[in-house]
């Protein structure tokens, strides 16, 4: 008796595919009916193709097993299998649930401590587990389940040999109808005969799955590099990747090939491929240049720490000739413990999705999950030629269920030591006498002198400082800052960006030693140019926020808080906040005597759109924007202003379609007055960008990003 199954695979977004698979009983000559397993689905080419095309978070697999006396093989077409279902014996239907992010084929479950996976290939005994801490003030931060969900299927579905995971071979005794792939093994310390893989040939073609190289085996894996196969023994490029299925028309001998990253050459047409976490570490070590493309979800092991990638572009007369580009291609990066990029200039960074990650640091500097600091360098040569790196473009990225904790390690209060204070002693030379020789008693200070509070640096989800940020989405992000000095700017998208366009923040909280905070940006003064030595030039540019929305924003700051920006004003001219809205704002601004923020000493300033103006000479014009009715549009304005297109609205009004008539108006692009900026806001169903009350408007450019931020509810 022969068995096969009809499979219906459907994602949560109702993308679906149907196909057939051959089932082989574990024991021959038995009445036991084989069943489809999750591991078989995960290793099937249909699943891999479906996952690459639609990038689902989870899916349901329904299947029905059929028994037939007819000879069958995996090379048969779906039409042939479908015809067999008319006569085959049908078994009851069953189903399998698959978490596409965490269910990984061929994962070994081994853990090895690697402080630097690029430079160290030795096992370390101690294991340091990096936890994900909640921000403690209403934020829900997900915890990576990568380690929990790793499962080994080697024993059941594959053999393991010297770092190779060998898929189960098809049984076919008719050698005349087989094609054989020979895998060269002469490189082993003790050379052995070639590994033989056989596939049934139909019309002269056989589909054969090649062995996969085990990246968790440090005796065979080279950190930052990838093994593959080629029919040329001296090849420098991978022709066939391990773990994938290929169609062969004749017997072929393959040799292993080692390439940098996951393949590619780093050009625009042939970018370096990134599919494993240690390849990001190699990028960091080499201060990457060229073009890169992510080709798989990357989940950092709990014991692995990331080093931010610094890539500073050279000064050039043509700023449009990008020298560095990273395309995340919509894949996920999870369990990141440091910013993906550190200092960058002249880069293009796009389609990155960072989730379930926590940065915990005691270092006082700019922080962002995608980029810490983006700089634009300018140099004027003696011949009058101007060289410039150009602004870094950050496009179509997400950060979700993540937090940045800038604080010192918490101590164990149960082991606190009692502090004994000695009595004060007044030195004799500080005693003063009046003209009669009597001691002058010192006057008690009625108001203690406040220590000087210093603040610099910027923190945000996408960037800390700088960057042209477009079409990005932040969901459930928190900042907790308790270092000695204050963070000057904190924002849901960026602490202090160049510009932000068509982006949204849903759920952002910031508390601690922070001066200015905003739902989109802490400061919108724009970006400055720098000379090659890193000195600021007087030139400002940018400072525009257009087509953005901030909702469910909680800010505890000392100086200012704003629904869109904490601090406005800029040295640039004609900067605007346009086609935006902010709603569901919860601000606590000022200096307090107690940690519970109940005894106010000095009042801060808050606004529905901008908290307050800074010290720059030019203001922002706010236009085509909707602000909460319970707050001033600008909390304290010196140079900024708003026109008659501004609307004040109660909470319920943000759910009404009429809001589109305001935020979708045409406005002038301040960077180019000849261009018109038009809002692209739209409504959809409540579960896309809404709540129990109804749907809220969002920029159409980010609709496909919402699915990237979905996570399982904690139980």
Least confident among 16-30, 466-480, 494-508, 636-650:
16-30
pTM of the model: 0.75
Query: CB neighbours of 125 closer than 8 A, spacing ≥ 6?
Result: 113
Least confident among 144-148, 177-181, 386-390:
144-148
Helix (H) or strand (E) holding 196: strand 195-200
Alpha-carbon dihedral sign for residues 71, 75, 80, 82: positive
Three-state SS at 661: helix
- 549 close to 628: Cβ distance less than 8 angstroms: no
- Say yes or no to pLDDT of 46 above 90: no
- 334 close to 709: Cβ distance less than 8 angstroms: no
Residue 446, token pair as written in the block: 């009625």
CA angle 384, 387, 390 (to 5 degrees): 145
- 197 close to 183: Cβ distance less than 8 angstroms: yes
How many other C-beta atoms are found inside a 10 Å radius of the C-beta of residue 567? 30
How many other C-beta atoms are found inside a 10 Å radius of the C-beta of residue 313? 22
Residue 523, token pair as written in the block: 């400061």
- Say yes or no to pLDDT of 277 above 60: yes
Strands 536-541 and 371-380: unpaired
Beta strands in 40-101 (DSSP E): 58-68, 89-99
Least confident among 72-81, 430-439, 520-529, 663-672:
430-439
pLDDT tens sequence across 565-602: 999 999 888 899 999 999 999 999 998 876 667 777 88
Least confident among 108-117, 324-333, 394-403, 420-429:
108-117
pLDDT tens sequence across 108-138: 333 333 334 343 332 322 322 233 333 333 3
Least confident among 136-145, 268-277, 569-578:
136-145
Mean per-residue pLDDT of the chain: 84
Q: Which residues pair with 393 in a beta bridge?
A: 348, 468
End-to-end CA distance of the chain: 45
pLDDT tens sequence across 231-266: 999 999 999 999 999 999 999 999 999 999 999 999
- R_g (Cα) of the chain, nearest Å: 30
Give the pLDDT confidence score for residue 220 in this predicted structure.
87
- 327 close to 350: Cβ distance less than 8 angstroms: yes
Query: CB neighbours of 382 closer than 8 A, spacing ≥ 6?
Result: none
- Average the pLDDT over 70-81 and give the result: 84
Three-state SS at 188: coil
Least confident among 375-384, 517-526, 632-641, 694-703:
375-384
């Amino acid at each position: 008796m022969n068995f096969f199954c009809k499979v219906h695979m459907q994602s949560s977004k109702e993308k679906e595919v149907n196909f057939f698979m051959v089932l082989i009983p574990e024991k021959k000559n038995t009445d036991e009916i084989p069943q489809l397993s999750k591991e078989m689905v995960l290793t099937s080419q249909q699943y891999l193709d479906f996952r690459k095309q639609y990038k689902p978070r989870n899916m349901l697999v329904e299947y029905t097993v059929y028994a037939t006396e007819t000879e069958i093989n995996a090379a048969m077409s779906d039409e042939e299998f479908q015809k067999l279902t008319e006569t085959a014996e049908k078994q009851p239907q069953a189903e399998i649930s698959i978490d596409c992010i965490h269910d990984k084929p061929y994962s070994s479950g081994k853990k090895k401590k690697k402080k630097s996976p690029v430079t160290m290939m030795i096992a370390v005994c101690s294991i340091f587990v990096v936890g994900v801490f909640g921000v403690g003030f209403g934020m829900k931060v997900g915890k990576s389940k990568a380690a929990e969900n790793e499962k080994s299927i080697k024993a059941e579905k594959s053999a393991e040999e010297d770092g190779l995971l060998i898929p189960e071979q098809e049984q076919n005794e008719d050698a005349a109808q087989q094609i054989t792939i020979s895998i060269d093994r002469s490189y082993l310390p003790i050379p052995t005969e070639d590994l033989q893989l056989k596939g049934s040939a139909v019309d002269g073609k056989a589909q054969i799955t090649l062995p996969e190289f085990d990246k968790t085996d440090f005796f065979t894996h080279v950190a930052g590099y990838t093994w593959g196969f080629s029919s040329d023994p001296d090849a420098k490029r991978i022709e066939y990747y391990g773990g994938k299925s290929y169609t062969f028309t004749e017997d072929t001998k393959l040799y292993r090939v080692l390439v940098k990253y996951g393949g590619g050459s780093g050009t625009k047409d042939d970018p370096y491929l990134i599919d494993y976490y240690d390849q990001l570490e190699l990028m960091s070590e080499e201060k990457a240049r060229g073009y890169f493309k992510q080709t798989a979800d990357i989940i950092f092991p709990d014991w692995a720490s990331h080093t931010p990638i610094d890539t500073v572009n050279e000064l050039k007369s043509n700023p449009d000739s990008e020298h560095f580009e990273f395309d995340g291609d919509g894949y996920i990066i999870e369990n990141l413990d440091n910013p993906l990029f550190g200092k960058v200039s002249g880069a293009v960074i796009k389609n990155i999705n960072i989730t379930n990650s926590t940065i915990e640091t005691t270092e006082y500097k700019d922080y962002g999950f995608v980029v810490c600091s983006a700089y634009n360098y300018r140099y004027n040569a003696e011949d009058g030629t101007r060289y410039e790196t150009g602004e870094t473009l950050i496009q179509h990225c997400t950060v979700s269920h993540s937090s940045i904790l800038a604080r010192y390690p918490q101590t164990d209060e149960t082991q606190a030591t009692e502090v004994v204070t000695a009595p004060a002693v007044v030195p004799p030379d500080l005693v003063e006498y009046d003209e009669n020789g009597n001691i002058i008693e010192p006057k008690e200070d009625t108001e203690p002198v406040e220590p000087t509070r210093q603040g610099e640096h910027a923190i945000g989800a996408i960037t800390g400082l700088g960057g042209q940020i477009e079409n990005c989405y932040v969901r459930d992000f928190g900042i907790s800052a308790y270092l000695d000095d204050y963070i000057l700017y904190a924002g849901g998208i960026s602490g202090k960006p160049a510009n932000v366009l068509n982006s949204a923040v849903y759920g952002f909280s910031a508390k601690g030693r922070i001066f200015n905070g905003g739902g989109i940006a802490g400061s919108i003064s724009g970006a400055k140019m720098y000379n090659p030595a890193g000195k600021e030039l007087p030139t400002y540019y940018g400072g525009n926020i257009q087509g953005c929305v901030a909702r469910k924003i909680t800010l505890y700051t000392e100086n200012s808080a704003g629904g869109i920006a904490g601090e406005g004003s800029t040295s640039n001219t004609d900067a605007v906040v346009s086609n935006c809205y902010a709603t569901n704002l919860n601000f606590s601004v000022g200096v307090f005597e107690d940690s519970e923020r109940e005894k106010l000493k000095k009042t801060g300033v808050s606004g529905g759109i901008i908290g307050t103006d800074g010290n720059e000479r030019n203001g922002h014009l706010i236009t085509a924007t909707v602000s909460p009715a319970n707050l001033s549009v600008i909390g304290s304005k010196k140079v900024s202003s708003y026109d008659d297109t501004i609307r004040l609205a109660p909470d319920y009004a943000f759910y009404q379609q009429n809001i589109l008539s305001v935020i979708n108006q045409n406005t002038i692009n301040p960077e180019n007055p000849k261009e018109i900026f038009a809002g692209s806001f739209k409504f959809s169903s409540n579960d896309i960008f809404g709540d129990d009350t109804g749907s809220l408007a969002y920029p159409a450019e980010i609709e496909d990003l919402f699915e990237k931020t979905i996570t399982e509810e904690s139980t």
